[in-house]
Amino acid sequence: MNGDERYEDFDLCQDSLQIYQNIVETMKKFSSMAIQDDYENWNENDQHREVAKLLLIDQADYGTQHIFFDDNADDDEDCIVDARDVISKEIISFNKMKNRYVVKVEPHRAILEPDYFIKMIEMAETARDDEIEKVELGLNDPNEALEAEEKPDENEW
């Protein structure tokens, strides 16, 4: 079975809610978990985001903070994480997920800075809190407003 067949066999509409529920229940019970990605499938499919590491997010659940750390969480289509809304099944744009749900890890900083991950969690939580606040203020399309606000990382040089 090649990577395309494996991907086609996965029915995102049918399986995603069950997967999400299993993850949530495991996290409630054990507080952590490990999931092995399918690197071969991703690589065989030209490293497309649609076959990357799946991160299911219930954006309407204000009590849960999803944060996925990866050193290959690169920009847009090069991102190794496929973040999707578990209800709508829609891909969450890179601008929306960046530093909110998906954080690119800088390995050298993670080694040299003892509080690196604490800082990254705080950054993601602040971004999610800001998103929730905008939704509660009644913005018609909070996703659009958030994406418009995002600015590319500025280079200190």
Report H helices in 10-155: 12-30, 39-44, 94-97, 107-112, 116-136, 142-149
Q: Is residue 56 within 8 Å of residue 16, measured between CB atoms?
A: yes
Instruction: Give the C-alpha separation, 26 to 46, whole Å.
Output: 32
Q: 13: pLDDT confidence band, cut at 50, 70 and 90? A: low
* pLDDT grade for 11, boundaries at 50, 70 and 90: low
For residue 47, the tally of other CB atoms under 10 A from its CB is: 16
- Quote the mean pLDDT of the chain: 81
- Report percent pLDDT > 90 for the chain: 43
d(CA 58, CA 86): 5
With a cut of 70, say whether residue 21 has pLDDT above it.
yes
d(CA 77, CA 93): 10
Tens of pLDDT, residue by residue over 69-93, are 999 888 877 788 999 999 888 999 9
**pTM exceeding the 0.85 threshold for the entire prediction:** no
